[in-house]
Amino acid sequence: MKTRRCSIKLKDSKKLFLDISKRLNFNFEGLFSFKSKVEIVEIESVKLYLVEGKPLFFKISQLVMPTLLFDKFYSTLPRIVVDMGAVPFVCKGANIMVPGIVRVEAEFEKDKLVVIVDEKYDKALAIGESLYASNEIRNMKQGIVITNLHFVSDKIWTASKALIQK
């Protein structure tokens, strides 16, 4: 597996943190110093951002998103709890459908990031983007309501776990 790794300049990492903070409406300054060491690691077609050695972000298209390993971020997201029957499908990249949802925790609008967790172990399975507001999802009987953006076992997850094990 071909890997490329390089550090990014302090001014670039500060800009990265500010851009992500603004887009995701989350204060990353509270978690990291702008002087934190930030590296970019490219493994095949995956681009990961390591903050102090931890793979916390990935780049998809032109957007930088948090990984499932960034629990301090995803723990602040609204939660979609799915039944155990939905788990294997979510972990293979399936979008979230109403029949698999046990409950919607918190209020959110359309196009917001949410974390998908299982009902038994409360483990984060995926990060998705809502296609509807929370109140609409609660009233729906069928259909896809969350687009799965990043999930356990995808190439981002696999590359992140490989970096941690080194």
What domains lie within the chain, and their CATH numbers?
3-70 (3.10.450.120), 73-151 (2.30.130.10)
pLDDT for the residue numbered 108? 96
Distances (CA, A) of 129 to 35, 112, 160, 165: 30, 5, 21, 29
Between residues 5 and 96, which one has the greater pLDDT? 96
pLDDT grade for 147, boundaries at 50, 70 and 90 = very high
Residue 149: what pLDDT? 95
Q: What is the structure's pLDDT at 1?
A: 57
pLDDT for 97-112, tens place per residue? Answer: 999 999 999 999 999 9
Q: Is the pLDDT of residue 23 over 60?
A: yes
In the predicted structure, residue 7 carries a pLDDT above the cut 70:
yes
Closest by CA position to 57, among listed 29, 23, 17: 17
Average pLDDT over the chain, rounded to an integer? 91
The pTM of this model reads: 0.90
DSSP state of 110: T
Start-to-end CA distance of the chain, whole Å, equals 13
List pLDDT tens digits, range 46-59.
Answer: 899 999 999 999 98
Give the pLDDT of residue 64. 87
